[in-house]
Amino acid sequence: MNYAIGDVQGCFSVLERLLEHIQFDSSKDILWFTGDLVNRGPQSLATLRFIKNLGDQHHVVLGNHDLHLLALSQHAHPGWKEDTLAEILSAPDRDELIQWLSRQPLLYHDNGSGFTMVHAGLAPSWDLWTATRLAKEVEAVIRSDAAAEFFQHMYGNQPEQWSEQLQGFDRLRCITNYFTRLRFCHRDGRLELNSKGTLASSSPDLIPWFEVKPRANANLKIIFGHWAALGGVTNILNTYALDTGCVWGYKLTAMRLEDEKYFSVKATRSFD
């Protein structure tokens, strides 16, 4: 069986309870993780070690917190006061974990099941071919000698709209923001990265990325995390929101891909 799991964010003990709940069998089941494996929660190191050690029994996409860890490992950012990543950065297996994390993609597509997994979303103008191509652009830089320079330029909200004419770090930043930070868009597809709340509380001129029309990827079955305020509900066909706010004290959720059945366990506390 294949189980897609929402943002763990270092809540390893909750992940263990979820795996017990679904009766995870590491000899045959495969776990899909929507990114943000680490940060804010207290057990980021244990989370990374566990997922890495799953070997071929997992698929991971990078989230914004995972990229932030990679930036810290390259001394490309001073860090935020709420970070809980020091244990990873001082671990004896730090380099092995960082290298493994840096090899994970921004997008995973499974031809057999038809599911596509990203952390936050896809630009409305991207079809699967375009999204795959652009993900590979960023992935290649992250895995290269230019990684530290990229991470120094990764933070920021501009440019706010994708264009094939974008170049350099503006291009890479824009691609990264769509994949790992997207929630709301303007009706023309421009990013709005400051709004993080519920659909009901949003400004009337903003819409969730999965409601933008036309949307070139509307035919895809898209699994994503990142947006805990959705509570796992999109009301849009073929979009599966799996971040249900574990690190904020709500719950951690998995979806079994074979029948799209959901499983959740409550978090023990909030780590806000």
Query: Please, what are the domains in the chain?
Result: 2-266 (3.60.21.10)
In the predicted model, residues of the chain with pLDDT beneath 50 are: none
Which pLDDT does position 212 carry in this prediction? 92
Cα distances (angstroms) measured from residue 148 to each of 1, 72, 76, 141, 171: 38, 9, 6, 9, 16
Which pLDDT does position 270 carry in this prediction? 59
In this structure, the strands spanning 115-118 and 221-224 are parallel
- Rounded Cα distance between 5 and 24, Å, is 12
Q: Kindly report the CA angle at 59 between 199 and 91, in degrees rounded to 5?
A: 100
Question: What are the structure tokens assigned to 88, written together?
Answer: 């990873």
> At CB < 8 A and 24+ separation, what contacts does 138-145 make?
138/106, 138/172, 138/175, 138/176, 138/179, 139/105, 139/106, 141/172, 142/67, 142/70, 142/102, 143/102, 143/103
In this structure, the strands spanning 115-118 and 107-109 are antiparallel
Which pLDDT does position 198 carry in this prediction? 77
Which pLDDT does position 269 carry in this prediction? 67
How many CA atoms within 13 Å lie on the side-chain side of 30? 12
Q: Residue 34's CB: how many other CB atoms inside 10 A?
A: 28
Q: Residue 159's CB: how many other CB atoms inside 10 A?
A: 15
- Per-residue pLDDT tens digits for 28-86: 999 999 999 999 999 999 999 999 999 999 999 999 999 999 999 999 999 999 999 99
Question: What are the structure tokens assigned to 105, written together?
Answer: 């993609």
Which pLDDT does position 196 carry in this prediction? 77
- Rounded Cα distance between 264 and 272, Å, is 20
